[in-house]
Amino acid sequence: MPDRTALHEKRGIDRIEDPLLNKDTAFTEAERRKWGLLGLLPPHIDTLEEQAERAYDAFSVKDSLLEKHIFLRQLQDENETLFYRLLLDHVEEMMPIVYTPVVGQACQEFSHIYRRPRGIFLAYPHRDILDDILAEVERDIDVIVVTDGERILGLGDQGAGGMGIPIGKLSLYSLCGGIHPTQTLPVLLDLGTNNKERLEDPRYIGWRHERIKGEEYDAFIDAFVTAVKKRFPDVLLQWEDFASVDAERILAKYRNSLCTFNDDIQGTAAVTTGTILAAIAAAGGKLEDQRIVMLGAGSAGIGITDQLVATMVRHGLGEADAHARFYVLDIDGLLHDGRTDLDEVHRPHAQSLKNLAGWDCDLTKPIGLADVVRNARPTVLVGVTGQAGAFTEEVVREMARNADRPIFFPLSNPTSRAEATPTDLLNWTDGKAVIATGSPFDPVVFGGKTHVIAQCNNSYIFPAMGTAILASGARRVTDNMFMSAAEALRDKSPALKDVNDSLLPALKDIREVSRHIALAVARQAQDDGVADPTTREELERRVDETMWTPEYD
């Protein structure tokens, strides 16, 4: 556990107004005398449990999901310990409020619901003083989540409103992985926005300028990384919600020079891989026998495909054989080697036209999803398009004709962007579909059976990655670490015992699951030589010490 005594010895109202120090009505009589709080608080002394009950009462009377989100954000800004205790007590109810899907609306409304500062805004006009800005951070930081706000969930460019994502992500680092909130820092790189609605909004709090791109963009990112390495040389830096064209370049450029990963690429790939492995096992199949369609060729789609290919290779397939089992589509249809418009990222995932010989469609024209499903007869369909309804009834019924247990993963979020709803998928497949989604959906009753719908949420992966990295002292993040996270997640699937049960563990068990995954990842970091070796017992002790429980000191 980090030494937090370096926090200012604040007194009086200054102590109450610091969310990392505030206990509010739970300050003891002795603490009130020591810190000059007598008279500033009502005389009754609450327990943390009593405070959490009062907070839940206030939360429950809020009329809308956004109002509930605002209430929780305000509580976080007032009393971090109480905030996390409340979330832990009601994790299944509140995680969708503090993060997806409600955080999407919160990002859109960020300038209107803004109350007090949290994190660091690094704006392009201040590009020459990034060192000075980060030097003003008063505490050492172990985990940074950063976004430039250009591709927020499925909502596109939200500019400064994208700060809601790092704030929400780091809340889950603490909630699920036990990373103490004093160790975390959300960062927004404000390079402008091309969202006209934001620029024309008189309440917009970001830099009012069209988005900076090209060489100037790259130089700013480089200056940011340099400043981070100087101020926080051992930090874990997570990139979040960057445009695909930038996300992949940034990760490739910096992954070998500091401890860093991109959650949209690697975290999404790991949680999807783990959940698909669980779905295949629950349906009685083997990964190497699957034919997988990936609808969407952005950073998430390519990241998932890369990891699934690597997993097939790990299971004994040759790389060419593994690639032949994947059909990746972008906005112009199936990627294949007859197309001349593919970039370096997409070419490795292009199907050979030789493999498509005999297909019942015109191979000289764009090959759409319906053509792919009819000819390839896939067993797994994953959607990362942000396009609601992209899994049409025709496509779904065709898959169900050719697979005993077709697997569908409509992963786009928020809920309004899902490629299909679980209800439709079960209706169109006569109850055969095995489903995970990107946003939360209620269980569906079909044919007298209740199908529990797993939310394929990165919160099962990235908080555990953070815990593992901090506990093991990992200096880099390897692909094998994400592979081990995926396999550890699969092992916790309730669907392995009942195919109609959730493919993922219940959120109420998220701390236990995070610990299980963190141990697997930490051991892999040691095996990969990026963390110092220890005994298994010592590693478990370090993981347990890293996982903070929200209690007053």
Query: Is 10 part of the annotated catalytic residue set?
Result: no
Same domain, 450 and 514: no
Give the model's pLDDT for residue 9: 85
Same domain, 446 and 528: no
Please tell me the distance from the alpha carbon of residue 406 to that of residue 114, in angstroms, as a whole number. 44
In this structure, the number of other CB atoms found within 10 A of the CB of residue 538 comes to 11
Same domain, 333 and 434: yes
Print pLDDT tens along the chain (553 aa).
444 444 568 999 999 999 999 999 999 999 999 999 999 999 999 999 999 999 999 999 999 999 999 999 999 999 999 999 999 999 999 999 999 889 999 999 999 999 999 999 999 999 999 999 999 998 999 999 999 999 998 899 999 999 999 999 999 999 999 999 999 999 999 999 999 999 999 999 999 999 999 999 999 999 999 999 999 999 999 999 999 889 999 999 999 999 999 999 999 999 999 999 999 999 999 999 999 999 999 888 999 999 999 999 988 999 999 999 999 999 999 999 999 999 988 999 999 999 999 999 999 999 999 999 999 999 999 999 989 999 999 999 999 999 999 999 999 988 889 999 999 999 999 999 999 999 889 999 999 999 999 999 899 999 999 999 999 999 999 999 999 999 999 999 999 999 889 999 999 999 999 999 999 999 999 999 999 999 999 999 999 999 999 999 8
Tokens 């007590």 locate to 89
* Number of folded domains that form the chain: 3
Same domain, 248 and 290: no
Task: Show which of 442, 457, 472 is a domain's final residue.
Answer: 457
Give the model's pLDDT for residue 95: 94
Does 8 fall in a domain? no
458 is in an annotated binding site: no
Same domain, 245 and 169: yes
Q: State phi, psi for 130 to the nearest 5 degrees.
A: -60, -40
- CATH code, 58: 3.40.50.10380
Same domain, 447 and 530: no
What is the pTM (predicted TM-score) of this model? 0.93
10 Å CB burial of residue 331 (0-12, 13-18, 19+) is: exposed
Task: Show which of 426, 457, 488 is a domain's final residue.
Answer: 457
Give the model's pLDDT for residue 153: 87
241 is in an annotated binding site: yes
Nearest to 45 by CA among 522, 390, 552: 552
* Catalytic annotation, pick one of 23, 68, 169, 204: 169
Query: pLDDT tens digits, residue range 51-83?
Result: 999 999 999 999 999 999 999 999 999 999 999
417 is in an annotated binding site: no
Does 385 fall in a domain? yes
Give the model's pLDDT for residue 7: 55
* Catalytic annotation, pick one of 23, 68, 84, 99: 99
Does 14 fall in a domain? no
Nearest to 209 by CA among 223, 198, 220, 221: 198
Helix, strand, or coil here: 166?
helix
Same domain, 450 and 471: no
Query: Is 552 part of the annotated catalytic residue set?
Result: no
Same domain, 434 and 499: no
Same domain, 203 and 273: no
Nearest to 492 by CA among 514, 477, 469: 514
Task: Show which of 230, 258, 286 is a domain's final residue.
Answer: 258
Same domain, 406 and 494: no
Give the model's pLDDT for residue 8: 62
Same domain, 182 and 281: no
Give 79-114 as a DSSP string.
-HHHHHHHHHHTHHHHHHHHSTTHHHHHHHTHHHH-
339 is in an annotated binding site: no
413 is in an annotated binding site: yes
- What is the greatest pairwise CA distance in the chain? 83
Please tell me the distance from the alpha carbon of residue 464 to that of residue 251, in angstroms, as a whole number. 20
- CATH code, 361: 3.40.50.720
Does 9 fall in a domain? no
Does 542 fall in a domain? yes
Does 37 fall in a domain? no
Same domain, 158 and 283: no
Give the model's pLDDT for residue 2: 42
Does 203 fall in a domain? yes
In angstroms, what CA-CA distances link 144 with 63, 120, 133, 237?
A: 33, 10, 15, 5
Does 161 fall in a domain? yes
457 is in an annotated binding site: yes
Give the model's pLDDT for residue 190: 98
Helix, strand, or coil here: 494?
helix
Q: What is the residue range of 444's domain?
A: 266-457
